[in-house]
Amino acid sequence: MEKIERSDLLLVIDVQNDFCPGGALPVPDGGAVVPVINRVIGLFPAAGATQDWHPAGHFSFASSHPGKKPFETIPWHGQEQVLWPDHCLQGSAGADLHPELEARPLRFLLRKGTRRDVDSYSGFLENDHRTSTGLKGLLQELGVRRIFVAGLATDYCVRATVLDGLEAGFRVAVLVDACRGVDVPAGSVKKALEEMRSLGALLLETRDLSAG
């Protein structure tokens, strides 16, 4: 069993309507994370969440690139940028947290992807890998030393948040059964989990948790 400590925090990644069934960019079985998170969120002394919050015309939307289709890629500053369907538009119902997610314990809601010209998968850094979202400082102010990560999607925003959290000096655990992935290309979820583990993240199931 993994005992929850006073300096631990549950970080819920992008459990939003657009990433759940019926949304603009649904993660397969994405809504299944909600009851799992709800079962354990009360075990933690603190919890927070991230929220994709894109302006209209965001450059990561395929609709912003004439002739391009969702899930095609374009070059961007030496990287590949996946083009997505329009999703999580600021102020839209699709950007709202899932209505059944137990949100009362959340100490903060950090919005990312707010700049039109850069995407933001990680809760810590935008995709230029330089611009901070402010999450590191916020967690330090709260006295957090270890982050337990849950949410969507395992191979994109969860992965990026975990890797940047480790780089920022936090201990990080991934609640695997409280995450779901896109798995495009096939095998990317398994690859992401192996990468996170190899770089120092602890992979757990929620049944492994015990209250402090």
pLDDT of residue 76: 87
- Overall fold of domain 2-56+85-210: Rossmann fold (3.40.50)
The arithmetic mean of pLDDT across residues 80-106, rounded, is 96
The torsion region of residue 107 among left (phi > 0), alpha (psi -120 to 50) and beta comes to alpha
pLDDT tens, residue by residue, 109-147:
999 999 999 999 999 999 999 999 999 999 999 999 999
The arithmetic mean of pLDDT across residues 168-197, rounded, is 96
Query: Which contacts of 124-128 are long-range, i.e. CB under 8 A and separated by 24 or more positions?
Result: 124/161, 124/164, 124/165, 124/167, 124/168, 125/160, 125/164, 127/76, 127/79, 127/81, 128/77
pLDDT of residue 185: 83
pLDDT tens, residue by residue, 1-40:
899 999 999 999 999 999 999 999 999 999 999 999 999 9
pLDDT tens, residue by residue, 192-205:
999 999 999 999 99
pLDDT of residue 92: 98
pLDDT above 80 (res 46): yes
Q: Domain extents for the chain?
A: 2-56+85-210
The arithmetic mean of pLDDT across residues 90-118, rounded, is 97
- CB proximity list for 117: less than 8 A, separation 6 or greater: 59
Class of residue 90 by CB neighbours under 10 A (exposed 0-12, middle 13-18, buried 19+): middle
pLDDT tens, residue by residue, 63-92:
999 999 999 999 988 888 999 999 999 999
Quote the pTM value. 0.96
The arithmetic mean of pLDDT across residues 184-191, rounded, is 92
pLDDT of residue 212: 72
pLDDT above 90 (res 211): no
Catalogue the active-site residues: 14, 112, 157
